[in-house]
Amino acid sequence: MFLQPVISLPVDVYTPERKAEFMLNNAITPEEYTTAVEQVRKLGLDPESIPHVRMPTK
């Protein structure tokens, strides 16, 4: 039996605010942005308080 070296990598843990930022910034269409805003509100956050590029909605 051989021992193999082990590498420990840090795990990224995202806060709800960071997840909300990802959702809002990754929306491509106005419809996706609207959905992202709804999802952010479901997280209990105000989308206006999250730093992101705002997209005009219909």
What is the per-residue pLDDT across 1-30, written as a single tens digit (0 to 9) for each?
A: 788 888 888 888 999 999 999 999 999 999
Residue 44's region, left for phi above 0, alpha for psi from -120 to 50, else beta, is left
| Burial (Cβ within 10 Å: 0-12, 13-18, ≥19) of residue 23 | buried
User: Does the pLDDT of residue 37 top 90, yes or no?
Assistant: yes
CA–CA separation, 11 and 38 (whole Å): 28
Q: Where are the domains of the chain?
A: 16-49
pTM, full prediction: 0.75
